[in-house]
A and B are shown apart, each in its own frame.
Chain A
Amino acid sequence: MAVAFRTGLFNIGAESQLLVGAVAAGAVGARFGFLPGPILFPIVLVAGIGAGAAWAAIAGYLKAARGVNEVITTIMQNYIVVFVIHWLLQNGPMTAPNALGTPASAPIGDGAVLPIIIPNELVPLTRLHAGIFLAILAVVVFWFVLWRTPLGYELRAVGLGARAAAQAGIDPRVHTVIAMAIAGGFAGLAGMIQVTGVFHRVFDGFSAGYGFDAIAVALLGKNSPIGVVLAALLFGAFARGGSIMQANAGVSAQLVSVIEAIVLFVIAAELIVRILARRRGPKPLEAIA
């Protein structure tokens, strides 16, 4: 998400990229469930990331080649994915009998399941699993790619000054596709972690809007790796804390959504003020020059 923002793209499709990654991970994990963990897990990992990346790259390509606004395409992609998954699980190729009561796929192979690192018996009400290591690794990779590789430099240059980048030989179109693919890859990874760490299968409507939370997290974290981690922890605490507050203190869990919304409003307001200030600020000086 933040990767795409850095390139000046507005990727609203993290939800669908996450779902595609989850479905790919779930399908591969179930189909090749007989393989041992050390072989199965990397395959599932690549499937999740690859599917998210490829799905997002479509929007990137449309933007680069045809000038289609990525906000529109990624939103539309969200709907496509939600309904395709619906079909896949309801009466499509991935339907499997289960005890959940909702349409779901067959469970993934044990080899692909992320181990729980703090068992429920020790600390109740958690589901902390090894996915946290993958998430930390993803943040490190995000930071490294963006700030320590020529590719990251090019992505930032395109995001901050597309025309300057273009005249310097950095093709904004190519980098639009790459940025979307990377963003989709991260979202796909998130979906893959949900499947392998939490649910061990795909079921209908399983992503509680994580992809949309990601937009908020990227905004709050101002697209910097550390900021994104802190923002994600905040939103995670909101989500968990909300249900616990409801159970223990009788505070409505909806209040969390209200607080989240207020946070976002404040951020958005700050952005608007800054854009207005920039418009008014240096322009008159330029006119004199």
Chain B
Amino acid sequence: MIHQHFMLVPPLSVAENVVLGDERGGPALDRRRIEDRVRELEKRFGIEVDPSARIEDIPLGLQQRVEILKVLYRGSELLIFDEPTAVLTPLEVDELFEIVRTLRDEGKTLILITHKLREVMAVTDRITVLRGGQNAGELVTRNTNPGEIARAMVGRDLKELKARATPPRTEVVLAVRGLEARSDRGSPALRGVDFEVRAGEILGVAGVGGNGQSELAQCILGLRRPSAGAIRIGDVDISKDDPKRTRARGVAYVPEDRHLEGLVLAFTVADDFILGKQDHAPFARHGVLDPVTILRNGGRLAAEYDVRPPNPRAIVANLSGGNQQKVVLGRELSERPKLIVVSQPTRGLDIAATEYVHERLLEQRGQGAAILLVSSELDEIRALSDRIAVLFEGRIVATLDAASATEERLGLLMAGHSEAA
């Protein structure tokens, strides 16, 4: 099993991690011998990693190879990959698939668990579609197409995303100038970021996770204090405002982690719908909450945003991920925000829920909202954005028009290759 979240010991070397839990051969660890064994494995399966490198010093793509080596070292014949590409750059994905093909040709059996159709089409021989815990179809990759798989996954035809009919307006809603900020660990996370988002425009922010995306969203919301630079909504600098004041200026936020940040899971649907709006009319009058209005509002929004079950008294923790995200959307989008900061809005959602989120965002765009879309899903960014900014190591290394942003170009930029070449 190759887990989505790696199970490695960061301070140990590659070879030590590979033999971990299986350090046979006497009390003393023969470093040379295990490194040789690991090298032998690498040669046989065409996997390249320096056996003496430390895990904490090598990138995620290489760490994943260590995970694969670990399994091979134990002589496994069946390898299960759980969402193996979630943290990889497009280049690393291609390299992973090379390894996967080699393993197959060596006679190993591989199971690839993924929700990305492209990957399924690229490397598999046969496909089993799971829907709601049941087998929803078996297909032979050679004889099928992404549309058929998607149909099996959703149980119906997918709607085409409406083309971006209206061009963005000229009015600049959000202007970020020379923004710098530090991460929680105190290292520079943003190193001079400039961009603007106009009304009726979606600006996609692409990049491999951990290149400053979270910090950017947090700075705009007022959850993190920038160390330099300005963030303007219209003519007002909000870089020093707290979330309450920022939100009062018409900023909505769909956070990356809906369990920790988006929702109070133990609340009812109705209560989560008023989070941040609890202290003013119509939900509170003269310092007293109005439970009838809160419940009615909960029922109305649950129906409007297709939360299932549409019961305002349901506890949010018991809803599915897609329905939880609908609660977040209902709360954030129902008051006609001017700017919407959206972070990884479809992470972990199934195809139907993803489609729903995308439709709602495009609807907001049509109504003139400015949207900053942070996502590590290139397909998502390319499908929704008018312009795409690529964030690498705290800087925007390029801003492309959606039309000219091919996957290859974005992939190279995300991996730190500059445009100049």
Give A residues with C-beta under 8 Å from B: 147-154, 156-157, 160-161, 163-171, 286-289
Q: A154-B278, A160-B266, A164-B263 are in contact. List 8 more A-B contacts (CB 8 A).
A: A150-B284, A152-B289, A160-B265, A164-B275, A165-B275, A167-B223, A167-B261, A169-B246
Complex contact A165–B278 (CB within 8 A): no
B26 smallest CB distance to A (angstroms): 36
Complex contact A286–B260 (CB within 8 A): no
Complex contact A157–B255 (CB within 8 A): no
What is the predominant secondary structure among interface residues of chain B facing chain A? loop
- Does B279 make an interface contact (CB < 8 A)? yes
Nearest 6 A-B pairs (CB), nearest first?
A: A289-B348, A169-B244, A168-B276, A161-B264, A150-B279, A169-B243
- Does B67 make an interface contact (CB < 8 A)? no
- Given the known interface contacts A153-B278, A287-B5, A289-B321, the answer about A165 and B264 at a Cβ–Cβ threshold of 8 Å is yes
The residue that A287 contacts in the complex, of B82, B223, B266, with Cβ under 8 A, is B82
Complex contact A149–B242 (CB within 8 A): no
- Given the known interface contacts A150-B284, A171-B242, the answer about A164 and B262 at a Cβ–Cβ threshold of 8 Å is yes
Complex contact B271–A153 (CB within 8 A): yes
15 of the cross-chain contacts (CB-CB < 8 Å) are: A148-B288, A148-B291, A150-B278, A154-B278, A156-B264, A160-B264, A161-B260, A161-B266, A167-B255, A169-B243, A169-B245, A170-B276, A286-B259, A288-B83, A289-B347
- Does B140 make an interface contact (CB < 8 A)? no
B289 smallest CB distance to A (angstroms): 5
The residue that B223 contacts in the complex, of A157, A160, A161, A166, with Cβ under 8 A, is A166
B392 smallest CB distance to A (angstroms): 26
> Which residues of B from 252 to 277 have beta carbons under 8 Å from A?
253, 255, 257, 259-267, 271, 274-276
Bound-state Cα–Cα, A157 to B276, Å: 10
The residue that A150 contacts in the complex, of B243, B246, B264, B289, with Cβ under 8 A, is B289
Complex contact B3–A287 (CB within 8 A): yes
Residues on A with beta carbons closer than 8 Å to the beta carbon of B266: 160-161
> Which residues of B from 339 to 355 have beta carbons under 8 Å from A?
347-349
A150 smallest CB distance to B (angstroms): 4
Complex contact A168–B275 (CB within 8 A): yes
Complex contact A149–B288 (CB within 8 A): yes
Bound-state Cα–Cα, A78 to B62, Å: 54
Residue of A nearest to B246 (CB): A169
Residues on B with beta carbons closer than 8 Å to the beta carbon of A152: 289
Bin the interface of chain B by size: 35 or more
- Given the known interface contacts A150-B284, A170-B276, the answer about A163 and B260 at a Cβ–Cβ threshold of 8 Å is yes
The residue that A161 contacts in the complex, of B221, B263, B276, B347, with Cβ under 8 A, is B263
Residues 280-310 of chain B, each 1 if its beta carbon lies under 8 Å from chain A, else 0: 0001100111010000000000000000000
Residues on A with beta carbons closer than 8 Å to the beta carbon of B113: 288
Complex contact A287–B4 (CB within 8 A): yes
Complex contact B221–A167 (CB within 8 A): yes
* Among B262, B264, B271, B321: residue with most chain A CB under 10 A: B264
A174 smallest CB distance to B (angstroms): 10
* Among B3, B271, B347: residue with most chain A CB under 10 A: B271
The residue that A169 contacts in the complex, of B82, B83, B263, B276, with Cβ under 8 A, is B276
Residues on B with beta carbons closer than 8 Å to the beta carbon of A154: 278-279
Residues on A with beta carbons closer than 8 Å to the beta carbon of B39: none
B42 smallest CB distance to A (angstroms): 27
The residue that A148 contacts in the complex, of B289, B321, B347, with Cβ under 8 A, is B289
- Does B247 make an interface contact (CB < 8 A)? yes
A287 smallest CB distance to B (angstroms): 6
- Given the known interface contacts A149-B289, A169-B242, A288-B82, the answer about A163 and B261 at a Cβ–Cβ threshold of 8 Å is yes
Residues on B with beta carbons closer than 8 Å to the beta carbon of A148: 288-289, 291
Complex contact A167–B253 (CB within 8 A): yes
B116 smallest CB distance to A (angstroms): 13
Bound-state Cα–Cα, A150 to B351, Å: 37
Complex contact A168–B243 (CB within 8 A): yes
Residues on A with beta carbons closer than 8 Å to the beta carbon of B82: 287-288
Complex contact B287–A149 (CB within 8 A): yes
Complex contact A160–B289 (CB within 8 A): no
Complex contact A286–B348 (CB within 8 A): yes
- Given the known interface contacts A163-B260, A169-B242, A288-B113, the answer about A157 and B267 at a Cβ–Cβ threshold of 8 Å is yes
Bound-state Cα–Cα, A152 to B264, Å: 14
Residues on A with beta carbons closer than 8 Å to the beta carbon of B262: 164, 167
Residues on B with beta carbons closer than 8 Å to the beta carbon of A167: 221, 223, 243, 253, 255, 261-262
Bound-state Cα–Cα, A148 to B223, Å: 28
Residues on A with beta carbons closer than 8 Å to the beta carbon of B3: 287
A52 smallest CB distance to B (angstroms): 23
Residues on A with beta carbons closer than 8 Å to the beta carbon of B261: 163-164, 167
Residues on A with beta carbons closer than 8 Å to the beta carbon of B276: 168-170
Bound-state Cα–Cα, A289 to B221, Å: 26
Residues on B with beta carbons closer than 8 Å to the beta carbon of A151: 287
Residues on B with beta carbons closer than 8 Å to the beta carbon of A160: 264-267
- Given the known interface contacts A149-B287, A169-B243, the answer about A161 and B255 at a Cβ–Cβ threshold of 8 Å is no
> Which residues of B from 184 to 243 have beta carbons under 8 Å from A?
221, 223, 242-243
Bound-state Cα–Cα, A287 to B264, Å: 20
B171 smallest CB distance to A (angstroms): 25
Complex contact B260–A164 (CB within 8 A): yes
* Among A160, A164, A289: residue with most chain B CB under 10 A: A164
B351 smallest CB distance to A (angstroms): 13
A187 smallest CB distance to B (angstroms): 24
Residues on B with beta carbons closer than 8 Å to the beta carbon of A166: 223, 243
Residues on A with beta carbons closer than 8 Å to the beta carbon of B253: 167
A121 smallest CB distance to B (angstroms): 44
Residue of B nearest to A154 (CB): B278
The residue that B289 contacts in the complex, of A153, A168, A287, with Cβ under 8 A, is A153
